A and B are shown apart, each in its own frame.
Chain A
Amino acid sequence: DAKTTQPPSMDCAEGRAANLPCNHSTISGNEYVYWYRQIHSQGPQYIIHGLKNNETNEMASLIITEDRKSSTLILPHATLRDTAVYYCIVRVDTNAGKSTFGDGTTLTVKP
């Protein structure tokens, strides 16, 4: 699986958009970009994933650059409950689904 690089921490004002970047310059053509988050002392929660096209769901939007070497997770209106560690994972979609976690970005949403 491709290695990812994320900033260790970010702050965001409540109600504003949170934009979390992820670099994955060695991504292969068949690798997907997945985002999970982990709220303190809980198991990770799936947010969104994509291959090439931008994706949007009820939680967030995922913007993938044309060369696929980086992506951005967008939380459109961050709330205090969005404070968590956000993990960007790049992997192929084999039947196993084995995933390796990097250090992630600690997002702190402030009032």
Chain B
Amino acid sequence: GAVVSQHPSWVICKSGTSVKIECRSLDFQATTMFWYRQFPKQSLMLMATSNEGSKATYEQGVEKDKFLINHASLTLSTLTVTSAHPEDSSFYICSARDLGAGSGANVLTFGAGSRLTVL
């Protein structure tokens, strides 16, 4: 089945630095990927829709200059948290859909997540 890989799985950084998280579709092409963040004991919150070859679409309240998304190829989307602060510490999860999966094409496949801790 479809596999989505995220890297790194966890990262610790100093306040003020930028952190890049990669999301790869390993065995399928994804023109669209989705980025979520999740705080402890809370549900997933959709941050943005990543579109291959064009600008990402951000959900209301998500700062596009703070969370830079690049989807330069059909198998890779990146999320860069710029000038990270402790309040950006969270679990970031990406997902994608394998449109070539026949009856499984409607299913979202999620990455394992990336845990960011900002000191």
Q: Using CB atoms and an 8 Å cutoff, list the residues of chain A in contact with chain B.
A: 32, 34, 36, 38, 41-46, 49, 87, 93, 95-104
Contacts and interface: CB of A to CB of B under 8 A. Distances in A.
B106 interface: yes
Interface of B: 4, 6, 32, 34, 36, 43-46, 49, 91, 93, 95, 97, 99, 106-113, 115
The B interface is mostly helix, strand or loop, or mixed, namely: strand
Given A101-B43, A101-B44, A45 B32 contact: no
Contacts, number: 57
A41 B6 CA distance: 14
B113 A42 contact: yes
B107 A43 contact: no
A96 B113 CA distance: 20
